[in-house]
Structure 1
Amino acid sequence: MPNVIEALQPTLEGAAMRAVFALPQPLRRLIAGPPIRIDDQELALDAQLLLKLQKLTGQTGLSAETAAKARAGMARATKITAGSPVPGVVVAERSIPTDDGDLPARLYRPREVTETGPLLVFYHGGGWVIGDLDSHDDLCRFLAKHAGIRVLSVDYRLAPEYPFPAALDDALAAYHYAVDNAADLGSSSDAIAVGGDSAGGNLAAAVALRTTRAGEQKPVFQLLLYPAVDATRRRRSRELFGNGFLLTDHDMTWFMEQYSPQESTLADPRLSVLLADDHSDLPTAYVVTCGFDPLRDEGEAYAKALSDAGVPVVARRFPDLIHGFANIRPVGHRFEEALFEIVGTVRAALELHKG
C-alpha cells in the first residue's frame, strides 16, 4: 500500500495545484501574498502562486545531493504539472545513430501537416544534468501543434556521467542526422532549425555557431529560450534573482560543476557561446528571456552580440515570468499566453524564410 500511495502522490498534488489555480483571482492573490516587484518589474500572479505552492511543499530548487535524485525530482515535478496531452499531434519514437551510441529521440508532427515543411531540432533544458524526452514532451507537442511544424526532440547524454562536451557532441550529431535524413523526417536540408530552453538553448546556440564557422549547412533559425551562454561571469540578474525564483544560484553552480568541472573549459566558446570571437553570419535568432531569471542578463547580452554582428534578432523579455515557465504551461494561464506569443513568432520567422 505505501508504494501505491507514493505512486499516486504526484497525481494528487497535481490535482490540488490545478484546483488552487482555478480559484478566483482574489483568493489566488491571498494565497500567493502581496505582489513582488524587483527591478521595476512585477512578478506574474501565476508565477508567484506556483513558487508559493512549491515552497509550501518544501521544494527549493532543481539540484539535489546527487544527479539521480535531481532527475527523480524533475520527473516527479513533470507528473505534478502535467495536463492532458496537446491534441492533434502525431508522435513517433526515433533513434539517432552516433559514434558514441544511439540517441533516443521523438518526432512530433501536427496531424494536419502532411507536406514537406520546416523541422525544429529541439534540445531540452535541465542544466545538462536533468531532463529528458518526457520532461519536455508537452512543450514539444505545443510547439509542433501551434507553430505548425515538425519537432525532433533529442535525448542527449547527461552529466556528470558524460561531462562537456558530450552533450554538444550529441547535439551536433542530431543536427547532422536531421540534415542528412531531412526527407525521411518530412523536411528538407535547407529548412532545419534548432532550438532549446536553458541548457538546451546553450546547445542550440552552440550548434548554430559550430556549423556556421565550419562552413556547413547551418540552421535556418535558432529558438533560444532563456539560454545559458556565459559560464565565466556573474551578472546582475543572478544577484537579483538567484534565490526564490525556481532556478537558484546554488542550482547554477551545481549544474556547472557536474557538466564542466574543469575551470579551464568555462571560457570555451563551445560552452560560453557569448565569448566566441565572431558571431557574424549566424542564423536568425529569437532570444527569449524572463524578468525574474538569473540567466536574464546573459541571454540579453547574447542577443545584443548577435545584433551587433549583423544577425537578425528578435529579443523578447517577458518581464513578469520566471525561468522554466515553458515547462509548466498546463498549470497557469500566463505561461500558456507567453508560449502562444512564442510559437506565433516562430511560425512567422519560418514562413518568412520559406518566402
Structure 2
Amino acid sequence: MQPLSLAHQFQGFAARTLLSLPDSLQVMLAGGQPVERDGYVLDPQVQHMLAMQRRMRRPHFHQLSVERARLEMEVNTRLLAPRAPVMQSVRGDRFEGPGGPIPLRIYRPHELPARAPATLYFHGGGFVVGGLESHDPVCRIVAHEARCVVVAVDYRLAPEHRFPAAADDAVAAFRHVAANAEALGIDAGRIAVAGDSAGGNLSAVVSLETRDDAVRPAFQLLIYPAVDLTMSFPSISSLGKGFFLEKPTLQWFMGHYLRSPEDGRDPRASPWFAEVAGAPPAAVFTAGFDPLRDEGAAYAGKLEAAGVAVTYTCHRSMFHGHISASGGLSKARPALSEMTAALRVALS
C-alpha cells in the first residue's frame, strides 16, 4: 500500500480534529440547522463531514475518469479509516477463476481454532472502483470482532469486465474456498458471505446461486446492498444529492457495469428480481441517508416473506459508506461492531 501524500495526511488529520468538536459546533460549522429527511435526522458529524467535502470541492466519481476514480476511492477510504487490529497472519493467494486468476487476501486473527469459521468479503465500489486495499481495515475488523477467517475477493471490475464478470467471480470464489476449506484451515459448514454496497449485491447473488450446492453460505451479511440495479426505489431520487453517493454516480456505475439496461432485471445483477426462497439466513443493514436505503429495506422484507430468517437494521443518522469512515465518526464505529456481532453470532 502506498503511503498517503502529505496533503492527504493533513486532510485526514484536520478532518479528524474538526470531527471531534461538540455536536452543536458540528452543526454550526455545517450551516447552522440540522438536516432532516423522511423523519431521519443526519448525524452532526456526518453533516459537518459532507460540508467539509463540499468546501474542499472533492469530486464525485462520475466527474472523473475510471482511473482517477479508482485512485480517489483509495484516498477516500483511508482518510477516516478505522484503526485496524493486528492479525496473526495476512497473506495473499489466488485461484483460477472463470476469466483468469482471481487474487484473494486471507486474514486470520489470533487465537482461532485450526478449523475456524470464515467469511468471504466482497468490497464495495459500484463494480468499478475499490479493491483489497480500500477495504483492508474493514476486513481486519470483521476478522477480529467476528472471530473468523476473512477471505477478501478481488473480483474483476468494470468497464474492462462488465456484467456478469463480478458475479461469476464471486460465485467461483465461494466454491473455491468451500472446496479447499480443509487446506485453508476453515470449517466448511460455517462459511458466510459479506459485503458492502456492490459487495452486498455480490453476497446476495452468491447466496442465491449456491442454494443447491453441497456447501452453501451459512449466513449473508448485506451492508447497504445494491440489490436493484434498475434504480427504481424512491430513495434513489429523494437522497440522490448531497449525501456523498449521488444519483449521477450510481448511473455512472451502472453505465460501466451493465452491458445494456436489460441486464438490470437479470437476477444475477439485481437480486431484487430473484426468487429468494431457500436463501441462507441474513442480516441486512442500511443507512437513513443512503440512496440505496429503500431497496435494502425492501429486500430484507422479501427475504422474510419467503421464509428466510432475517434481521433488518437501519442506522438512521448515517450515510452510504459510513463503515469506511468509522475511524472519524463516533456513531459509525459502533454500527460496524453491530454488524460484526451479527456475523459472530451466526457463525458461533
Q: Distance in 2 between matches of 1:163 and 1:266?
A: 12
| 8 Å contact from structure 1 (residues 119, 151) kept in 2 | yes
What does residue range 133-212 of structure 1 map to in structure 2 within 5 Å?
A: 133-212=132-211
Q: Compute the displacement of 1:8 (Å).
A: 1.6
Among candidates 321, 329, 334, match of residue 332 of structure 1: 329
Q: Secondary structure at 1:189's aligned position in 2?
A: strand
List per-residue Cα deviations over 1:142-161 (Å, max 9, x = no partner): 11111111110011110000
Q: Secondary structure at 1:258's aligned position in 2?
A: helix
Q: 1:37 to 1:60 in 2, by over 3 A?
A: farther
Q: Distance in 2 between matches of 1:112 and 1:189?
A: 19
User: How high is the TM-score relative to the length of structure 2?
Assistant: 0.95
State the one-letter code of the partner of 1:174: A
| 8 Å contact from structure 2 (residues 87, 107) kept in 1 | no
Q: Secondary structure at 1:333's aligned position in 2?
A: coil
| 8 Å contact from structure 2 (residues 23, 45) kept in 1 | no
| 8 Å contact from structure 1 (residues 157, 166) kept in 2 | yes
Q: Distance in 2 between matches of 1:10 and 1:181?
A: 41
Q: Compute the displacement of 1:83 (Å).
A: 5.2
State the one-letter code of the partner of 1:41: Y
Q: Secondary structure at 2:186's aligned position in 1?
A: coil
Aligned to 2:342: 345
List per-residue Cα deviations over 1:30-82 (Å, max 9, x = no partner): 22232111101111122112211111111253333321111011112133223
| 8 Å contact from structure 1 (residues 62, 247) kept in 2 | no
List per-residue Cα deviations over 1:92-145 (Å, max 9, x = no partner): 112122242211111112112243221000100000000000100111111111
Among candidates 215, 222, 225, match of residue 223 of structure 2: 225
Q: Secondary structure at 2:287's aligned position in 1?
A: strand
Q: Which segments of structure 1 move beyond 6 Å, counting only runs of 4 or more?
A: none
State the one-letter code of the partner of 1:283: P
**Correspondence 1:237 to 2:238:** no
Among candidates 15, 18, 24, match of residue 16 of structure 2: 18
Aligned to 1:248: 246
Aligned to 2:293: 296
| 8 Å contact from structure 1 (residues 129, 255) kept in 2 | yes
Q: 1:83 to 1:271 in 2, by over 3 A?
A: closer
Q: Distance in 2 between matches of 1:274 and 1:321?
A: 23
Q: Distance in 1 between matches of 2:72 and 2:324?
A: 14
| 8 Å contact from structure 1 (residues 206, 273) kept in 2 | yes
Q: Distance in 1 between matches of 2:14 and 2:304?
A: 45
Aligned to 1:95: 94
Q: Secondary structure at 1:291's aligned position in 2?
A: strand
Q: Distance in 2 between matches of 1:244 and 1:261?
A: 28
Q: Distance in 2 between matches of 1:47 and 1:112?
A: 36
Q: Distance in 2 between matches of 1:256 and 1:350?
A: 33
Q: Distance in 2 between matches of 1:231 and 1:74?
A: 21
User: How high is the TM-score relative to the length of structure 1?
Assistant: 0.93
Among candidates 21, 28, 46, match of residue 30 of structure 1: 28
State the one-letter code of the partner of 2:52: L
Q: How many residues align?
A: 345
Q: 1:119 to 1:77 in 2, by over 3 A?
A: same
Q: Compute the displacement of 1:233 (Å).
A: 4.3
Q: Compute the displacement of 1:87 (Å).
A: 3.2
Q: Compute the displacement of 1:88 (Å).
A: 4.5
Q: 1:177 to 1:13 in 2, by over 3 A?
A: same
List per-residue Cα deviations over 1:167-213 (Å, max 9, x = no partner): 1111111101110111122212221111110001001100111111x
Q: 1:215 to 1:115 in 2, by over 3 A?
A: closer
Among candidates 267, 270, 294, match of residue 268 of structure 2: 270
Name which of structure 1's ranges 225-234 and 149-158 shifts more when overlaid on structure 2: 225-234
**Which runs of no fewer than 5 residues in structure 1 stay unpaired?**
1-5
Q: Compute the displacement of 1:259 (Å).
A: 0.1
What does residue range 5-84 of structure 1 map to in structure 2 within 5 Å?
A: 7-33=5-31, 34-82=33-81, 84=83
Q: 1:82 to 1:327 in 2, by over 3 A?
A: closer
**Correspondence 1:112 to 2:111:** yes
Q: Compute the displacement of 1:24 (Å).
A: 3.3
Q: Distance in 2 between matches of 1:215 and 1:11?
A: 47
Aligned-residue identity in percent: 39
Name which of structure 1's ranges 302-311 and 107-116 shifts more when overlaid on structure 2: 107-116
State the one-letter code of the partner of 1:344: A
